[in-house]
Amino acid sequence: MSGENKGSQERSGRLLFQQLETIRGVMMDSLLKNYVPFPIDRSLCSAWTNTLRKGGETVIYTSFMYQLSSIFRAYEKHLSTFTRMGGSTKLASLGKFFIKPDKDDLRRGYRILSNISDLLSKSGIDHGYLYDDEPYSGGLLLELGMLDEFWEYGEMVLKIMKDHGVKRVITVDPHTTNAMNRLKEHFAGDIEVDNYLTLIQNYSGDGKFVFHDPCLYSRYNTIGNRIREIAGTAGFELIENRMVTSRDLGTCCGGPLGPVNMELSDSIAKYRAQKLLSVSQNVMVACPLCYQNLKPYVSNMKDVAEVIA
């Protein structure tokens, strides 16, 4: 490597770590004080239900993902600006005033969560919800490699669950499922972690889609196969293509790169969308962050929880 290139790579590496320091600062501050990754209005997160009982041994665990996926994206989008403006303090103080969730996305998130809760009930899975006591899982820390922070905060998440008498969480998205499984493994915890897709039994749905597998469902778990089983029994069709939807060649939507490099994250989303659209104009996803990332490039897109009922 030439000296010039090496110098330029080192400079961009330093800038990247400065940005990560901003993220780490604002996230840890917010998580340790309020159990949310960014300054947000908590009541918006729990307003999707008022009928579930509070707490109990089994709870649906949203980790705000379906409610706030648009906010996650918005914060990530402004990170480099905040880094230039002075880091985590600016992000914490200014962010909440102008970063608000998209109303349509919020309503869509509420509908999806209600449907998932109904699907669980129809399958005889009794469950409660922690409402405003629900903590964020810390998945973002894990995915950015902030492992010490993830374990530190994760211990607090497990404690909240324990203090509320929760013995089993039912996760609804890949990031929370992965984060909780990692916490369980790391702390040898006795909390049971189940994803709703592995529990539901009574459902139906129709349509024909190309499925964008969430990485954390298909290549870190077997839930990708389970979704294909569900398609077979529910009555909707997933079109498979070796180059686009196979386990080894299907790729990420770029979402996890948002906090690191939004432009690259977006380029990967665009690339992935082109691949998916080459198979079908109707795309199915199973993750709120994939939905947000692919949204600018895919018109006809549904979450699996919008396909089955």
Partner 1 sequence: MSNWNIAIERALENNVPKVDSILEKYPYLSQMADEVRSAKLKVIADLDSYVKQTMESVMASGGKAYLARTTDEAQDILKQIIGNGKKIVMAKSNVAHEVDIINTLEKSGNLVSETDLGAYLIQLSGDESSHIVFPSLHMTREDIGRMLHEELGLQFSDKSSTEEIVATVRQLLRKKYMEADIGISGANSISADTGSVVLVENEGNIRIDTVLPPVHIIITGIDKIVPTLTDAMKEAMVQSAYAGLYPPTYVNITSGPSSTADIELKRVTPATGPKEVHVILLDNGRTEASRDETMKEALLCIKCGRCYFSCPVYRVMGKDWGKQPYGGPTGAMWTAIVNKDYATAEYCTHSGGCREVCPVRINIPKVLEYIKWVGIGKMINDKH
Interface positions with partner 1 (CB under 8 A):
1-2, 5-6, 9-10, 12-13, 16-17, 20-21, 24, 142-148, 215-216, 218-220, 242-243, 247-252, 254-257, 260-261, 264, 267-268, 271-272
- Min separation Cβ 288 and partner 1, Å: 16
Which residue number, 193 or 244, has a Cβ lying nearer to partner 1? 244
Which residue number, 48 or 297, has a Cβ lying nearer to partner 1? 297
- Min separation Cβ 256 and partner 1, Å: 5
Which residue number, 39 or 258, has a Cβ lying nearer to partner 1? 258
Which residue number, 127 or 272, has a Cβ lying nearer to partner 1? 272
- Min separation Cβ 160 and partner 1, Å: 24
> Phi and psi (nearest 5°) for 143?
-75, -20
- Min separation Cβ 1 and partner 1, Å: 5
- Paired strand residues for 234: none
Which residue number, 264 or 309, has a Cβ lying nearer to partner 1? 264
Which residue number, 74 or 257, has a Cβ lying nearer to partner 1? 257
Q: Which residues contact 76 (CB under 8 A, 6 or more apart)?
A: 258, 259, 262, 265
Instruction: Find out whether 169 and 61 touch, Cβ atoms under 8 Å.
Output: yes
